[in-house]
């Protein structure tokens, strides 16, 4: 349908005949495009061209593709030609609802490049789609805000259950939450005798279906849904009692089969044993110098610490981590980088900070020595959990012969039966190798055949006094002016020269005859480790001193044969790549290269000097008999006489381009010479491609 020609409200295009009208070309919907923005553009274009709303659906359908076209195909035939119904079906197909707009409104931010006015209009559109103020009164709009805040303050399980029922206002949500709490009220669970498995399963299903527990507890909404999916009684017929609503394996009329149990009592069963096992999981640690008690938890991928044990300045609220508890609740918690000392060794760990923890700290799998801690305390824990558990070990055996003849005695529980069980996840080669060597003694190498010079001379004081390099230090110590260049004072104790006054921090001054021995012990011997110059100097500097000690350590490490053979060669870092500038002036920058040697021509030419302009890509070629620098300069002068002198010349690092004569030419003419790196000819790619 088209507007009548006499319609004064139509635009100028509407008055034209149908064959003269230029309809706008709307692009088709692309897979992955935002369906809301696409529908918004379509509606604005339809209003601009004054299309009747009854035509919107037939104009939109040919533009739909993919998932949007599937939504149109699945619509009711009576609503397929109505635009409002089509739009609602598309939004439902793409899971877009008022809740989606609310989440986008609350999580909105200002992206880069968006002005505040654009952000305002975007937020205003999200608000209208969420609240729909044109369809609601002032009180109803207030109920939308109250409903949102009420859902925020409700617990997680109640909030999920209430949202599943889609309340229209806050009062309905409050009533639903009250129904949830009333259905799950009850006292603490009472211990009861264990029932047969079939009866327990049937009872659990009934409890889940009714929303209550068998002893006053409650089942969460997720468990109720899971049971409903697994054990929905509709369409099921029991083949045992021929009743509807359950299967034969869960029939309450079936008698439980006889089972045989054997139990070997152990000493120390009960609460005392449980406390022993819990205590064996605790290890003492130090966090920033503060002594704490930490629990080993192999199920945690991140170490956790109680908030009161961390200084406020060390807590990083900008980098939070997601913590999921054993019952499924998730929360964002801040992190902190702390120095944790475990068994005398310090580690820098990034741990999660929580308000409430059962222990002061929990060590997770991010601790490097967790396997060693398990090897020390985990062995005792494993023995206690298997052999001294307060949960009785039971072996059930049911056969047809035992059902007829009665129970038969079962063998006693032995240690070989403790290692059974279901097969766990496949372990990596590294884990198997680590478990193989955990707790095994480390073999000590036989060093009896090594010739190590570590005989300490007995006349050390005499060697110090006879050393010419230490004479000035003795004079300073005896004269009273004993201040050294490194901040200490020289002292003489029992005729031996030291640097420092206190006995625990003073350093022995080594004479020149003993310095090779000290350097050998600090660097060359096997347990010294052949450390680098700086670490070897720090090792010696803690106990010894002599003039020019750092220079001697540096020379000794550089001359070590073992270090020269095994040390990795340090490669120079690669220069970062950068984009070439755009040259707009012709012959402002030129590039040149040599092609050849080629087959000699009749005139004796064997080489070609190729020159390209970076602005116009214009090439020049000069034949050369030789590629010496004077011949190249002669060709350049011919070019300069025609096009002028360039500002820059880009070449490779050939000797004819880097010679002293070529450098003088650049200086005389004011040319800047550019060179490519030896192993990256792509820098001069223009002339290289032309070659």
Q: Specify the range with the lowest mean pLDDT, choosing from 43-47, 281-285, 377-381, 636-640.
A: 377-381
* Local confidence band at 270 (pLDDT 50, 70, 90 cut-offs): very low
Q: Specify the range with the lowest mean pLDDT, choosing from 95-99, 139-143, 193-197.
A: 193-197
pLDDT at res. 191: 44
Same fold, 277-387 and 589-690: no
Convert the pLDDT of each residue in 328-361 to its tens digit.
778 888 888 888 888 878 888 888 888 888 888 8
Those residues with Cβ within 8 angstroms of residue 596's Cβ, 6 or more apart along the chain or in another chain: 606, 607, 608, 624, 627
CATH superfamily placement of domain 589-690: Ribonuclease H-like superfamily/Ribonuclease H (3.30.420.10)
Q: Which of 302, 307, 343, 339 is nearest to 324 (CA)?
A: 302
Answer for the pair 501, 489: CB distance below 8 angstroms, yes or no.
Answer: yes
* Local confidence band at 553 (pLDDT 50, 70, 90 cut-offs): very high
* Local confidence band at 481 (pLDDT 50, 70, 90 cut-offs): low
Answer for the pair 316, 334: CB distance below 8 angstroms, yes or no.
Answer: yes
User: Would the pLDDT of 582 be above 70?
Assistant: yes
pTM, to two decimals = 0.26
The 8-class DSSP code of residue 528 comes to: G
| Across 123-135, average pLDDT | 78
What class has domain 277-387? mainly beta
Convert the pLDDT of each residue in 173-201 to its tens digit.
888 888 888 887 654 444 444 444 444 44
pLDDT at res. 159: 84
Mean pLDDT over the full length of the chain: 74
Q: Specify the range with the lowest mean pLDDT, choosing from 181-195, 245-259, 463-477.
A: 181-195
pLDDT at res. 375: 67
Place of tokens 């993919």: 66
Q: Which of 242, 239, 447, 281 is nearest to 370 (CA)?
A: 281
Answer for the pair 361, 291: CB distance below 8 angstroms, yes or no.
Answer: no
| Across 643-648, average pLDDT | 89
Query: Is the backbone of residue 18 left (phi > 0), alpha (psi -120 to 50) or beta?
Result: alpha
Convert the pLDDT of each residue in 391-438 to its tens digit.
333 344 445 554 555 444 444 444 444 444 445 677 888 788 777 766
pLDDT at res. 401: 54
Answer for the pair 557, 565: CB distance below 8 angstroms, yes or no.
Answer: no
pLDDT at res. 462: 85
* Local confidence band at 5 (pLDDT 50, 70, 90 cut-offs): very low
Answer for the pair 179, 165: CB distance below 8 angstroms, yes or no.
Answer: no
Structural domain spans, the chain = 24-96, 197-250, 277-387, 460-562, 589-690
More confident residue, 441 or 74: 74
Q: Indicate the fold that domain 460-562 takes in CATH.
A: Endonuclease III; domain 1 (1.10.340)
pLDDT at res. 554: 92
pLDDT at res. 555: 92
């Amino acid at each position: 349908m088209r507007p009548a020609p006499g319609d004064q409200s139509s635009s100028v295009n509407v008055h034209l005949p149908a064959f003269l009208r230029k309809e706008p070309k709307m692009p088709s919907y692309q897979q992955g495009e935002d369906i809301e923005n696409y529908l918004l553009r379509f509606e604005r274009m339809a209003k601009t061209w004054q299309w009747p709303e009854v035509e919107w659906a037939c104009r939109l359908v040919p533009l739909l593709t993919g998932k949007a076209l599937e939504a149109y195909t699945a619509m009711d035939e009576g609503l397929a030609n109505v635009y409002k119904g089509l739009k609602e079906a598309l939004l439902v197909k793409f899971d877009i609802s008022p809740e989606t707009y609310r989440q986008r409104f609350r999580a909105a931010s200002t992206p880069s490049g968006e002005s505040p006015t654009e952000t305002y209009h975007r937020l205003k559109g999200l608000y209208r789609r969420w609240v729909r103020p044109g369809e609601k009164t002032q009180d109803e709009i207030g109920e939308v805000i109250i409903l949102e805040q009420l859902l925020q303050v409700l617990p997680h399980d109640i909030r999920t259950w209430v949202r599943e029922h889609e309340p229209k206002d806050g009062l309905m949500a409050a009533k639903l939450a009250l129904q949830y709490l009333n259905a799950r009220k009850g006292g603490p669970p009472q211990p009861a005798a264990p029932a047969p498995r079939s009866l327990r399963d049937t009872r659990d299903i009934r409890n889940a279906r009714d929303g209550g527990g068998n002893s006053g507890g409650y089942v969460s909404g997720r468990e109720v849904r899971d049971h409903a999916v697994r054990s929905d009684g509709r369409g099921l017929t029991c083949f045992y009692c021929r009743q509807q609503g359950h299967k034969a394996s869960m029939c309450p009329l079936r008698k439980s089969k006889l089972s045989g149990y054997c139990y070997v009592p152990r000493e120390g069963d009960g609460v005392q044993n449980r406390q022993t096992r819990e205590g064996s999981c605790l290890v003492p640690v130090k966090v920033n110098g503060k002594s704490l008690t930490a629990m080993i938890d192999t199920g945690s991928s991140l170490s956790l610490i109680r908030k009161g044990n961390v200084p406020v300045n060390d807590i990083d609220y900008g980098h939070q981590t997601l913590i999921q508890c054993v019952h499924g609740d998730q929360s964002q918690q801040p992190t902190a980088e702390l120095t944790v000392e475990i068994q005398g060794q310090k580690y820098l760990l990034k741990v999660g900070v929580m308000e409430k923890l059962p222990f002061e700290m929990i060590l997770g799998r991010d601790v490097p020595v967790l396997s060693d801690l398990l090897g020390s305390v985990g062995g005792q824990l494993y023995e206690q959990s298997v052999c001294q558990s307060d949960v009785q070990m039971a072996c059930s055996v049911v056969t047809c012969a035992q059902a007829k003849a009665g129970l038969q005695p079962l063998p006693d529980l032995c240690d070989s039966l403790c290692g059974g069980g279901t097969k766990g996840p496949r372990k990596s080669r590294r884990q198997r190798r680590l478990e193989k060597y955990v707790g095994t003694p480390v073999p000590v190498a036989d060093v009896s055949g090594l010739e190590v010079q570590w005989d300490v001379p007995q006349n050390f004081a005499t060697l110090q006094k006879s050393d010419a390099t230490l004479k000035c230090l003795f004079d300073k110590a005896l004269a009273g002016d004993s201040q050294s260049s490194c901040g200490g004072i020289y002292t003489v104790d029992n005729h031996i020269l030291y640097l420092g006054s206190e006995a625990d921090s003073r350093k022995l001054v080594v004479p020149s005859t003993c310095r090779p021995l000290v350097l050998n012990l600090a660097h060359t011997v096997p347990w010294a480790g052949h450390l680098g110059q700086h670490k070897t100097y720090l090792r010696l500097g803690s106990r010894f001193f002599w003039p020019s000690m750092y220079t001697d350590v540096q020379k000794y490490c550089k001359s070590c044969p073992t270090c020269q053979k095994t040390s990795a060669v340090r490669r120079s870092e690669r220069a970062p790549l950068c984009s070439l500038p755009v040259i707009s002036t012709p012959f402002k920058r030129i590039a040149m290269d040599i092609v050849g040697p080629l087959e000699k021509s009749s005139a004796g030419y064997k080489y070609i000097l190729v020159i390209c302009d970076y602005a116009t890509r214009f090439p020049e070629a000069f034949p050369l008999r030789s590629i010496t620098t004077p011949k190249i300069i002669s060709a350049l002068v011919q070019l300069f006489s025609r096009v002028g002198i360039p500002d820059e010349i880009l070449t490779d690092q050939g000797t004819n381009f880097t010679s002293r004569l070529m450098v003088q030419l650049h200086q005389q003419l004011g040319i800047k010479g550019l060179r490519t790196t030896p192993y990256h000819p792509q820098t001069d790619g223009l002339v290289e491609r032309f070659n």
